[in-house]
Amino acid sequence: MRQSNIQVVGTLALNIVPHLLKEPLISPGTFAEVGSVEFRLGGPVANVSRVMRQLGSSVHMVACIGDDELGDTVRRLVQNEFECTYNLSVVAGCTTSYSVVIQAPGVDRAIWHHIGANATFDGSSVDPCMSEIIHLGYPAILPKILADDAAGLRRLFDSAKGVGVTTSLDLSCLSPRSFGTGVNWHSLMGDLLPRVDIMSPSLDDLCVALGISGDPPLKCAARAAEYLIDCGAAVAMVTAGPAGFALCAGSETRIAESRLLSPVARTWAETRMSCPAKYVYNAQTGGAGDSATAGLLFGLLAGLPPRHVVGLVASIAGRWVSGSRFFDPFDEVLYGLSS
pLDDT at 181 over 70: no
Tens digit of each residue's pLDDT (9 = 90 or more) over 264-310: 999 999 999 999 877 655 555 667 889 999 999 999 999 999 999 99
For residue 338, the model assigns a pLDDT of 46
**Is the Cβ–Cβ distance between 285 and 108 less than 8 Å?**
yes
Residue 207: pLDDT band (50, 70, 90) is confident
For residue 3, the model assigns a pLDDT of 65
Taking the alpha carbons at both ends of the chain, their separation in whole angstroms is 41
Domains, the chain? 4-22+33-335 (3.40.1190.20)
**Closest Cα partner for 82 from 4, 18, 140?**
4
pTM of the model: 0.89
Alpha-carbon dihedral 136, 138, 140, 146, rounded to 10 degrees: -10
Q: How far apart are CA 290 and CA 52, in angstroms?
A: 10
Tens digit of each residue's pLDDT (9 = 90 or more) over 143-163: 999 999 899 999 999 999 999
Tens digit of each residue's pLDDT (9 = 90 or more) over 102-147: 877 666 677 888 999 999 999 999 999 999 999 999 998 999 999 9
Tens digit of each residue's pLDDT (9 = 90 or more) over 228-251: 999 999 999 999 988 999 999 999
For residue 46, the model assigns a pLDDT of 96
**Kind plus residue range of the DSSP H or E element containing 310:** helix 306-321
Tens digit of each residue's pLDDT (9 = 90 or more) over 1-23: 456 799 999 999 999 988 877 76
Tens digit of each residue's pLDDT (9 = 90 or more) over 37-87: 889 999 999 999 999 998 999 999 999 999 999 999 999 999 998 889 999
Mean pLDDT across the chain:
87
Beta-carbon contacts of residue 249 (< 8 Å; ≥ 6 apart): 229, 234, 235, 236, 255, 268, 269, 270, 271, 306
